[in-house]
Structure 1
Amino acid sequence: KNGMIRVVQQSLLGSILSNMLLVLGCAFFTGGIVHYEKVQVFDKAPAVVNSGLLLMAVMGILFPAVLHFTHSEVHFGKSELALSRFSSCIMLIAYASYLFFQLRSHHNNYSSLEEEGDGNENPDEEEECELTKWEAIGWLAILTAWVSILSGYLVDAIEGASESWNIPVAFISVILLPIVGNAAEHASAIMFAMKDKLDITLGVAIGSSTQISMFVIPFCVVVGWCMGKPMDLNFQLFETATLFITVLVVAFMSQDGTSNYFKGLMLILCYLIVAASFFVHMDPKNSKNSEGE
C-alpha cells in the first residue's frame, strides 16, 4: 500500500530462505543430536513435490528478472510487469491444484504415512489436544489482526532503523525480519524433529516456503495489480540467484529421505553465507523506490 515494493519482495524472499536454511537446518541438527544413534527418516514423496513447486516458483521469478536485465522486453517497463502478473495467476492455479492433490485426490498417500508413523508409537500415548478447532481459529484471527497493526509501525520504522544502525535495508528485510517472523515455525520444527516426527518438520519448514513462493508472492502481485501498484516478480538478479541456489541445495539434501546433524549444520552454515552476502549487498539503482515509481 505504501509503495515499498522492494521491502515486500525482500521480506518474502527472506522468509523463504530462513525457513529452508535456518529453520530446517536447526531442526535437522537438533534432531540428529537428540537421536544420535539412529538415522532419522522422512517420506520423500512430499519433499519431491515441494521441491518441484519451489523450482516452478524460481522459474516464475527468474524470467522477469532476466527479461529486465537483458533489455529484451517488447515494451520496456510494461512487458516485465505483464509477464509477472500472468505468471502469478499461473502460480496461484498451480498452488490450488497442489492443495487439491494433497487434500483430496491423493489424500490417502499422506494419511497412510501418518498411520505408519503412529504405528511405531504406543497407541495408548496419544497426545491430548490443548486447543479446540474454534479456539485455534480465534487465536489465529486475533494474532493476525495484531500483526497487521504492528506491520504499520514496522513500515514507518524500517528506513530510520537502517540509517541509524548503518545497516542495509536489504539485510534488515531479508535476514532480521524473517528470523523474528519465523520464530513460531522455528520452535515447532525443532520440537517435532526432537520427537522424531520429521515429516511434520518438513511440512513446517519446506511447506511454509512453498506456500510463500507459490501463494503469498503471486497473491501480492495480484493485490498490487488491483491497487494500481507495480508489484512484480522481478526480485533482481542477486536475490533470484540466491533463491535458486537455496532451492537446489535443499532439494539435494532431502532427496534420499534421511537427515542427520551434519546436514543440519551444512544448512545453517549456508544461511550464514547468505546473511553475510546480504550484509554487504546494496540494491542497484532503485526502479521501485519508496514512492513505487
Structure 2
Amino acid sequence: MSIKNVIFFGFLGFIPVSLAAHFLGWGDLIVFVTAALAIIPLAGWMGAATEEIAIVVGPSLGGLMNATFGNATELIIAIFALRAGLVNVVKSSITGSIISNLLLVMGLSMLLGGLKFKEQTFQPTIARLNASSMNLAVIAILLPTAVDFTSTGIEQPILQRLSIAVAVVLMLVYGLTLLFSMKTHAYLYDVGMAEAPVEGTDPESNSHAEKAHENGHEEHGEKPNLKLWVGVLLAATLAVAIESEFLVGTLEVASKQLGLSELFTGVIILPVIGNAAEHATAVTVALKNKMDLSVNVAVGSSLQIALFVGPLLVIIGALMGQPMDLDFNNFELLSVVVAVLVANSISADGKSNWLEGTLLLATYAVISLSFYFHPVIEGIG
C-alpha cells in the first residue's frame, strides 16, 4: 500500500470524530477542523471510484465522468455555502481553486519532480491550448466586474442576467474543450502516455494498467467491479455532502476563532481542502516522470473550475433563490490574472525543473500572505 493510501485511510478516522463533534456539541472550531480533514480522503475515494468506473464504461464516457466528477467536492461545498447565503465565500473559493491549482499544485509537482529528474518535459501544444482557454476564462470573469466598475448605478438584476449569459457561453466552451480533447484531437493528449509506457504494456493501455495495478487489480484484463465502485462513489458523495454541511455551518465562527478573514478562508483554506486528492495525484505522477499527466491534472482542474463549476454555480444560485453573479472582488481578480500569467509563462516551453516549481510556489506564498493581511471587506460572507 502506498504512503498516499495510508494517509488517506488514516484521515478517514476524522469522519466519526466530526460526527461526534457535531452531535455532541464539541464546538464549531473542532467541527470545522475535523470536517475539513474528513473531506480530504472522501475526495480521494470519489476520484478513485470515478477512475475505476471509467475503465469499465470506456474512454469516451469515462473521460466525461472524470471531467464531471473531477471537482465534485468543491461543487458540493460551494452549493452548501450558497444555500447558507455565503455568496462571497463561494466566489472566493472559485478564484482560490484556480490560483491553488495553477501555482500550488503545479509548483509542488515541478519542484519535487525536478529534484528527482532534473528536467521534465510535457506537450507544449497542450500547454498553449490550455493557456488560451485560461485566458478566455479570465476575460469572462473580468468583464462583468469591469461593467460594474465602469457603470454608475447599474442594477443588480442586469448584472445577474449578464453573468448568466456569460456562464452559458463558458459552459458551451467547456463542452467544446471536452469534444476536442476526447474526440476530434484525442491523439494530442495520448502522446504523454506513449512516451513512458509501463513495461509489458502497450502505450494505449498504460494508464489503465497502472491504475489497475495500484488498486490491486490483475493486469491480465480483469475489469473492476462496477457495482462496488458505483456504491463507493455514491457513499463518498453522500459523506462529502454531510461533511460539507458541517464545514459550511461552522465556517464563520471557526474563521473568527482562528483569526482568519472569510476572504482568506474562501481563497486559501477551502480550495486546499477540496483539491487535496488532486494535489496528491499530480505530485505522485510527477515523481514517476509523467509531467504531461501532472500538468493536465493541475491546469485541467483550473479550467474545469473556471469554465464549468463557476458558471454552473451562477445558474444554481439563480435557481436556489441565492443570486450569484460574476462580479468578483478586484483583488481576487488581480490574483487570478497574476497566477495565469506566471503559470502560462513557465509552462509555455514544455519543460520544467525544480527552480520553476519554486517560482510558482513563491508566487502562491506571496498571494496567500497578501490575502492573510488583506483588510476585512464589508459584506464578505
TM-score with structure 1 setting the length: 0.90
Decide whether aligned partners of structure 1 residues 179 and 207 sit closer, same or farther in structure 2, where only a CA change above 3 A counts.
Answer: same
Task: Tell whether 2:244 aligns with 1:162.
Answer: no
Q: Contact conserved, 1:170 with 1:282, CA < 8 A, in 2? A: no
Question: In structure 1, what is the equivalent of residue 13 of structure 2?
Answer: none
Question: In structure 2, what is the equivalent of residue 32 of structure 1?
Answer: 114
Question: In structure 2, what is the equivalent of residue 271 of structure 1?
Answer: 364
Question: In structure 2, what is the equivalent of residue 245 of structure 1?
Answer: 338
Question: In structure 1, what is the equivalent of residue 246 of structure 2?
Answer: 153
Equivalent position SS for 1:127: helix
Task: Tell whether 2:199 aligns with 1:122.
Answer: yes
Equivalent position SS for 2:374: coil
Whole-angstrom CA distance in 2 between matches of 1:96 and 1:133: 29
Question: In structure 1, what is the equivalent of residue 235 of structure 2?
Answer: 142
- Residues 240-274 of structure 1 deviation map (CA, whole Å, 9 limit, x = unaligned): 11101111110001000000000000111111001
Percent of residue pairs bearing the same amino acid type: 35
- Residues 150-181 of structure 1 deviation map (CA, whole Å, 9 limit, x = unaligned): 11111111110122222111111111222222
TM-score with structure 2 setting the length: 0.70
| Greater than 6 Å deviation, 4+ residue runs | none
Whole-angstrom CA distance in 1 between matches of 2:331 and 2:134: 17
Question: In structure 2, what is the equivalent of residue 208 of structure 1?
Answer: 301
Q: Contact conserved, 2:131 with 2:344, CA < 8 A, in 1? A: yes
Q: 1:99 aligns with which of 174, 178, 187?
A: 178
- Unpaired runs of 5+ in structure 2? 1-82, 218-223
Q: What one-letter code is carried by the residue in structure 1 that aligns with 2:176?
A: S
Question: In structure 2, what is the equivalent of residue 18 of structure 1?
Answer: 100
Number of residues of Structure 1 aligned to a counterpart in Structure 2: 283
Whole-angstrom CA distance in 1 between matches of 2:225 and 2:376: 44
Question: In structure 2, what is the equivalent of residue 77 of structure 1?
Answer: 156
Decide whether aligned partners of structure 1 residues 184 and 43 sit closer, same or farther in structure 2, where only a CA change above 3 A counts.
Answer: same
Deviation of the 1:146 alpha carbon:
1.0
Deviation of the 1:239 alpha carbon:
0.5
Q: Contact conserved, 1:220 with 1:231, CA < 8 A, in 2? A: yes
- Residues 81-140 of structure 1 deviation map (CA, whole Å, 9 limit, x = unaligned): 11111000000000001101111111222234422342xx53369636026272444433
Equivalent position SS for 1:78: helix
Q: Aligned ranges for residues 211-290 of structure 1 at < 5 Å?
A: 211-286=304-379, 290=381
Higher helix fraction (1 or 2): 2
Whole-angstrom CA distance in 2 between matches of 1:40 and 1:172: 34
Decide whether aligned partners of structure 1 residues 128 and 3 sit closer, same or farther in structure 2, where only a CA change above 3 A counts.
Answer: closer
Deviation of the 1:204 alpha carbon:
1.1
Q: What one-letter code is carried by the residue in structure 1 that aligns with 2:128?
A: V
RCO greater where, 1 or 2, for CA within 8 Å and sep 6 or more? 1
Deviation of the 1:9 alpha carbon:
0.9
Task: Tell whether 2:280 aligns with 1:198.
Answer: no
Task: Tell whether 2:256 aligns with 1:174.
Answer: no
Q: Contact conserved, 1:47 with 1:254, CA < 8 A, in 2? A: yes
Q: Contact conserved, 2:120 with 2:352, CA < 8 A, in 1? A: yes
Decide whether aligned partners of structure 1 residues 99 and 241 sit closer, same or farther in structure 2, where only a CA change above 3 A counts.
Answer: same
